[in-house]
């Protein structure tokens, strides 16, 4: 049975050893769910297991145990995580695997509740216990039968991510620059799962980036719960701009992509740094969540529509060819027809190149869970569909305008069952979450492959995706 290592997106590639090693201390398969920050945690745990002599395989048919790194962010993510756990426990019951180890955010959030509901789980490791995975597995492999639980307090300094076994394609990787979050958005449980914000020292981030570049990574995707807040805790002020200046000097890396920009601490220095960089792409992911001042207050976002418009105006006017991604929430408690109309108006005027939408999910132990005036689920869904329909029109028009342009395209994978057709992305598409570019017409026997950078002409638009031909 094949396992989903990261996701079912076209660019997802499991790290797969050629053959099981009979000398390995044990063989394991992994299911990693949730955000890129969780994926970095997965890679760090796998790196420790590999260093200790364990071997990752891509099928439970040759695995002794399975690690399920879970997400606990919203209802749909929890359902997916629980489904993966139950699937692995069923295989354990059938005798196909010996142990099931559950890690990550859902483990951290539910702890005893999850174990009570699923006592067949052999071990659970919380977010801040990830460095102890080897000792947990060693005990399981030695035949210790009691259930093991490793939950640790939030770390007082960043955990290193230097020791990693990549499960993304070799040419791109996520680089986590901080952990936790000090934002107390009323809808979000991340601070309860991940703790308070703490930044990695700049030297540590630069070292990890250089390691990635030296290993063959061409695109580094910067992630954190709150990227623009980087450095505030250890340097007394945000220092993302200073960090980016140093990262931009790393010659072994071609692209640096920025995710999770909170709409605060974006000043002239940061904008100038982005505008003048060689390797930092003109691409920013800035989750805004809403555009009605009333909703932004109820969400405790510490911003207003006018401030968001000012930020967007500054970024677009000073960074050439900027591509913006954002996310919005429909159906937040108290959202009126007028609030939603303001959101639609904002999205239509801003014309984000990429926009994702979530319907509000009630999260236990968050302030929003206690707010009155819940929006019926069917209305939240209708609003979701209306906003997505608007965004589809905007995105398709943008795709049509790109036809005839030239782009550098990084190749992520071959298109299955279609010889000579490759799947790639340009500066405008982040891995796994945006559309893709299908590159056709590469001559058989050429040296183009996964990780290649190909200069292409965009020849057609296909919905959210594009079709390109390589230039001579």
Per-residue pLDDT 10s for the chain (472 aa) are: 334 443 333 233 333 444 555 567 889 999 999 888 889 999 999 999 999 999 999 888 889 999 999 998 888 888 999 999 999 999 999 999 999 999 989 988 888 889 889 999 999 998 888 888 999 999 888 887 777 778 777 766 777 787 888 888 889 999 999 988 888 899 998 888 888 889 999 999 999 999 999 999 999 999 999 999 999 999 999 999 999 999 999 999 999 999 999 988 999 999 999 999 999 999 999 999 999 999 999 999 999 999 999 999 999 999 999 999 999 999 999 999 999 999 999 999 999 999 999 999 998 889 999 999 999 999 999 999 999 999 999 999 999 999 999 999 999 999 988 888 999 999 999 999 999 999 998 877 788 889 999 999 999 999 999 999 999 7
Q: What 3-state class would DSSP assign to 173?
A: strand
Select from 377, 183, 355, 368 the least CA-distant residue to 286.
Answer: 355
Residue 404: both structure tokens together: 């005839």
Q: At what angle do helices 305-318 and 337-350 cross, to 10 degrees?
A: 10
Residue 68: both structure tokens together: 């399920």
The contacts of residue 418 (CB under 8 Å, 6+ apart) are: none
Count the Cβ atoms, other than its own, within 10 Å of residue 217: 25
The C-alpha angle 438, 429, 170, rounded to 5 degrees, equals 80
The C-alpha angle 282, 255, 421, rounded to 5 degrees, equals 100
Look up tokens 């913006």; give the residue. 324
- What span, in angstroms and rounded, lies between the C-alpha atoms of 260 and 367? 22
In the prediction, which pLDDT does 420 show? Answer: 84
- What span, in angstroms and rounded, lies between the C-alpha atoms of 302 and 209? 32
Return the percent helix, strand and coil in the chain, to nearest 5.
Answer: 35, 20, 40
Phi, psi angles (nearest 5°) of residue 395: -65, -40
Residue 240: both structure tokens together: 């993302």
Helices (H), 319-448: 337-350, 377-402
In the prediction, which pLDDT does 351 show? Answer: 97
The span from the first CA to the last CA of the chain, in angstroms, equals 42
Helices (H), 319-376: 337-350
Residue 275: both structure tokens together: 């505008």
pTM of the model: 0.88
């Amino acid at each position: 049975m094949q396992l989903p290592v990261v996701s079912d997106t076209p660019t997802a590639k499991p790290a797969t050893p050629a053959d099981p090693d009979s000398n390995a201390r044990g063989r394991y398969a992994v299911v990693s769910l949730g955000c890129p920050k969780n994926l970095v945690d997965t890679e760090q745990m796998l790196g420790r297991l590999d260093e200790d002599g364990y071997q990752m395989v891509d099928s439970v048919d040759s695995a002794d145990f399975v690690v399920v790194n879970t997400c606990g962010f919203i209802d749909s993510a929890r359902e997916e995580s629980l489904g993966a756990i139950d699937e692995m426990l069923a295989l354990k019951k059938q005798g196909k695997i010996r142990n099931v180890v559950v890690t990550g955010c859902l483990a951290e959030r539910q702890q005893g509740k999850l174990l009570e509901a699923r006592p067949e789980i052999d071990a659970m490791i919380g977010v801040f216990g990830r460095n102890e995975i080897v000792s947990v597995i060693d005990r399981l492999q030695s035949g210790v039968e009691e259930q093991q639980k490793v939950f640790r307090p939030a770390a007082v300094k960043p955990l290193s991510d230097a020791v990693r076994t990549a499960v993304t394609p070799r040419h791109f990787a996520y680089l986590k620059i901080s952990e936790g979050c000090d934002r107390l958005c009323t809808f979000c449980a991340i601070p309860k799962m991940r703790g308070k914000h703490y930044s990695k020292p700049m030297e540590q981030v630069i070292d990890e980036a250089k390691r990635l570049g030296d290993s063959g990574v061409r695109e580094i995707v910067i992630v954190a719960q709150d990227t623009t807040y980087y450095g505030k805790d250890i340097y007394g002020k945000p220092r993302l701009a200073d960090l980016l200046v140093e990262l931009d000097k790393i010659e072994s890396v071609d692209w640096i992509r920025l995710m999770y920009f909170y709409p605060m601490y974006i000043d002239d220095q940061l904008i100038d740094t982005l505008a003048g960089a060689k390797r930092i792409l003109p691409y920013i992911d800035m989750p805004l969540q809403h555009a009605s001042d009333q909703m932004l207050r109820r969400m405790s976002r510490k911003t207003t529509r006018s401030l968001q418009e000012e930020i967007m105006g500054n970024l677009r006017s000073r960074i050439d060819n900027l591509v913006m991604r954002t996310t919005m929430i429909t159906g937040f408690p108290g959202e009126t027809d007028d609030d939603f109309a303001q959101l639609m108006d904002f999205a239509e005027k801003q014309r984000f190149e990429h926009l994702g939408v979530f319907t509000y999910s009630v999260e236990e132990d968050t302030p929003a869970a206690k707010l009155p005036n819940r929006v019926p689920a069917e209305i939240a869904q209708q609003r979701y569909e209306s906003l997505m329909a608007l965004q589809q029109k905007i995105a398709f028009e943008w795709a049509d305008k790109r036809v005839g342009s030239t782009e550098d395209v990084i190749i992520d994978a071959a298109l299955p069952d279609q010889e000579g057709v490759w799947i790639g992305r340009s500066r405008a598409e982040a891995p796994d979450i945006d559309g893709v570019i299908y590159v056709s017409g590469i001559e058989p026997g050429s040296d183009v492959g996964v990780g290649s950078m190909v200069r292409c002409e965009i020849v057609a638009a296909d919905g959210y995706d594009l079709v390109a031909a390589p230039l001579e």
